[in-house]
Amino acid sequence: MFRGSIPALVTPFRGEAFDEAAFRDHVEWQIGEGSHGLVPCGTTGEAATLSVEEHYRVVAVAVDQAAGRVPVIAGIGSNDTRSAIANIRAVADLGARAALAVVPYYNRPNQDGIYAHFAAIAEASPLPIVVYNVPGRTVADINVETLARVASLPSVVAIKDATGNLARVSAQRLACKAGFAQLSGNDDMALGFNAMGGVGCISVTANVAPRLCADFQNACLSGDWEAALSLQDKLYPLHAALFSDASPGPTKYALSRLRDYPLDLRLPMTPPSEASRRAVDAALEHAGMNA
């Protein structure tokens, strides 16, 4: 379940409403192009702007549309431990196969607080848990020693590591239990991440180039590093362009170029700048994905 190319799904809006039809089409396209799993309601899915009811509806639609063909790993993160527990129980009832739980943000807990947060979620959880470490957004960083403690909890099975620190892959592999899966949270570093022991990526770029990202991850998993390097070179400008302005604006723009996909975002997110759009256009051309 925790390997390969796993898109962190964008959430389509038309005006202020969740566009369920567009989301179902996006999920279907992802599966048809070879994605290995799906993550609704993560950072890229603008989860912070969804109401609780919308959050659960997005997860329910992803589960329904996937229909068991690939696992759905639902975002449940909160800086309030009680809310995270309520979320994980709700998405389990909706049919998610696992949960993505971010390190608590804004509160800035110490390492004991981070451990206690995940221990409480794990004790209450009916699902496997993927820890999401993204200190650039949360400020708090789960260190290697604390991750090893958290990984010893039976239901904690993987990490999405968006620290941007490739040395963490080796340190965490040595510190954590055997079989603990490490997934990159940075598309541009996924080649090095996998070479050091990672097994996949929870990906932004896979929203736009699902087939290329799946082929890249399959090449890594099979040890075909020459093919993986070639695909990395093809995808790298797109990895960069999708973060040339606040995410997921550039990603929604790219999808609007390629498919019938709405560009709408929810405030405080706004459409990407003209410079960002030009970067996305050039990257799509470089990847052979001319609209």
Active site residues: 132, 160
**C-alpha span between 241 and 216 (Å, rounded):** 18
Q: CB within 8 A of 54, min separation 6: which ones?
A: 18
CA 102 to each of CA 129, 173, 227, 263: distance values in angstroms, whole numbers, following the listed order? 10, 20, 32, 26
Among 148, 158, 104, which residue's Cα sits nearest to residue 128?
A: 158
**C-alpha span between 145 and 284 (Å, rounded):** 40
CA 251 to each of CA 46, 52, 152, 164, 248: distance values in angstroms, whole numbers, following the listed order? 12, 24, 36, 20, 5
**C-alpha span between 252 and 180 (Å, rounded):** 32
Among 224, 236, 218, 252, which residue's Cα sits nearest to residue 287?
A: 236
CA 280 to each of CA 22, 37, 126, 215, 243: distance values in angstroms, whole numbers, following the listed order? 21, 25, 40, 21, 9
What is the residue whose two structure tokens read 């957004």?
137
Phi then psi dihedrals of residue 102, to 5 deg? -80, 150
Among 8, 1, 131, 156, which residue's Cα sits nearest to residue 71?
A: 1
